[in-house]
Structure 1
Amino acid sequence: MKKELWRQLIHASGVFIVVLSYFLPPNLLIIFCIAILVFVDMVFRLDHHYNIPLFSAILRVTKREHDERGFVFFFIGIITTLYFFQFNMAITNAAILILLFGDSASTLIGKRFGKNKLPFQSHKTLEGSLTFLVVGFMVSLTQLPVIPAFVGAMAGTLTEAYIPVDDNVPIPLVSAFVMSLAIYLL
């Protein structure tokens, strides 16, 4: 559980992308995220052959054995959301926050306290999904009004619950799409 906690803290540290969105235009933010993705990929590749001060220690603490490249999907999800929804950065930021904090909180709570398995995903729990919804809703309220924030969090929750692996791409995209639709219809 300690390893997963560190992993999820690093996952949630992606909040710096949302902070940077207040200072950088979307296209520059996309380039910045691509640069981070390339850098982290190089560190992963070099780590197989060399001990890289600081980075190798972080990787040993946080890397999952079966999911070494999850960070790629994490950044692809953020980059594609930035690209397609840059017309409304509040929606984009809310979707990224839902991914960062909803997904991290649901993993930690689901693994620690989850007792009721979802009928369609045996490795996910009702407790984790409810945590995703509550946390996703709370963080998206920092960007959007109540109704778009709630439907975005609900969309992220359902996406996370039904997608078996690599949900870092569809969660922010589906959340952003549903929030855009809610804002358009209201």
Structure 2
Amino acid sequence: MVTKNKKLIIFDTDGVIFKSQLLLHLSMHFGILNYVRTLYLCFLFGINYINIRELLEMVYVMFRGLKEEDLWRVYHKMRQVKHAQETIRYIKDRGHCVALISSGVPDFLMKHLSERLKADCGYGIDVKMDNGVFTGKFGGLLASPDGKVQVVEQILKVNKITWDDVIVVGDDRNNLDMMELAKVSIGFNSYYPVRKKAKYLVDSNDLRKVLDYINLEDNPSFDELSSSLRHEISFSWMQEFRRKGVHFGAVLVPFFAGINFSITLNLLMTITALFMFSELLRLNGASFPVISFITRLCIRTREQRRFTIAPVTLSLGIIFSLLLFPKLIAGVVITIVAFSDSIATVIGRFYGRLKIPYNHGKSVEGSIAFLVSAFICSIFYLPLGIALIVSLVSCIIESLPIELDNISIPLGTGLFLGLII
């Protein structure tokens, strides 16, 4: 379907079309030390210590003497994200213009890439070649900090459209100037500066995911909106079930702690540390094997822009329970926080209607579900009377407006249980 309002969709290249950066792959051609140096310079650029011009000057000087055929060889080895060409074709079929813009890839390679992917145009930096050998010199608009904005304004002038018709898909801070001027910005596996400011975020290896947001900004029909809403509701359900499935897995901790306490404790602390490192990577567009994949499946939309603290607090609540309480009490409180908190969240999130007066973030239905499930968990460890009292106390703690309930529930319940038995 062709839309009435033509838009310009701009894709950054490194990290968006390509899975990684061409600069890093070129530096590997000159040895591991140059690769490490380039990686460090890219880090300095990422934290705003140097600008794009300074980065290019310090990196491209290392490439002096590089043959054009080697540039092509590295370029052809660059891996692309999934469905890049299909995504661009879909956008163009709807009557929009697609531009590929990069401040790190030579212009002649960008022209070739735009032809490969059937984009309307491609722009990169101008590199100076002498008889097929790179001289170490470069130039062009895109070699300057505001170069992308200038290039886009030229495209807008040719197509007779404005910044209100622009959608930018990027990952690093070199795209921020464009994103601030464009009507819509989409962060794709983005670094933290972009993650904070982009209107939409996509954490995926599939470029088609950006189409959900492009279509949303493209005057969708009622049927398209309804379909999108149904998809969002279905995704929310699956996301919450996956999230609580991981949460529920904590019920196994008392069992493993009974077999070998020290190994279980050390394993918990190691997994927590790895998760925290994984989150730092995620917030900057990278990933950690297995952990990042699970996080993407479970993370809520509001957590995309910040550190996901819930798994850390759950782990800390379990670790403190193992260290502070006897085996019986630790087993009770860990089972309650793992199982009952999961049940309460699912019931409250999807069926909760009556809000608790002193905590509007939680519902009466969710608290009832917590109470019943906590009682069921407790009777495996405690007499019925004590189990009922403990479940009531833990339910009250869970209902309080305390953000870190993964810690407050096991510790509060454990302290109370320690006083009555």
Sort the Cα spacing of 1:149 and 1:116 in 2 relative to 1 into closer, same or farther, 3 A: same
For 1:11, the equivalent position in structure 2 comes to 247
Structure 2 CA distance for aligned equivalents of residues 132 and 112 of structure 1: 14
Pairwise CA RMSD? 1.7
CA shift, 1:30, in A, is 2.8
For residue 121 of structure 1, the aligned residue among 345, 356, 359 is 359
Structure 1 CA distance for aligned equivalents of residues 298 and 333 of structure 2: 24
In the alignment, does 2:260 pair up with 1:24? yes
For 1:74, the equivalent position in structure 2 comes to 314
For residue 47 of structure 1, the aligned residue among 282, 288, 298 is 282
Structure 1 CA distance for aligned equivalents of residues 381 and 263 of structure 2: 21
Structure 2 CA distance for aligned equivalents of residues 154 and 24 of structure 1: 31
The structure where helix makes up a greater share of residues is 1
For 2:20, the equivalent position in structure 1 comes to none
For residue 298 of structure 2, the aligned residue among 51, 62, 70 is 62
Q: Percent of aligned pairs with the same residue?
A: 27
Structure 2 CA distance for aligned equivalents of residues 168 and 33 of structure 1: 15
* TM-score when normalising by structure 2: 0.41
SS in 1 for 2:258: coil
Structure 2 CA distance for aligned equivalents of residues 140 and 97 of structure 1: 8
The count of residues paired between Structure 1 and Structure 2 equals 180
Q: What amino acid maps onto 1:81 in structure 2? A: S
CA shift, 1:81, in A, is 1.3
For 2:273, the equivalent position in structure 1 comes to 38
2:355, 2:362 within 8 Å by CA — same for their partners in 1?
yes
173-182 or 54-63, which deviates more = 54-63
SS in 2 for 1:142: coil
* TM-score when normalising by structure 1: 0.88
Q: What amino acid maps onto 1:118 in structure 2? A: I
Higher relative CO (Cα under 8 Å, sequence separation at least 6) belongs to 1
Q: What amino acid maps onto 2:319 in structure 1? A: I
Larger Rg, first or second structure (1 or 2) = 2
1:90, 1:143 within 8 Å by CA — same for their partners in 2?
yes
Structure 2 gaps, min length 5: 1-236
1:121, 1:164 within 8 Å by CA — same for their partners in 2?
no
1:149, 1:179 within 8 Å by CA — same for their partners in 2?
no
Structure 1 gaps, min length 5: none
The structure where strand makes up a greater share of residues is 2
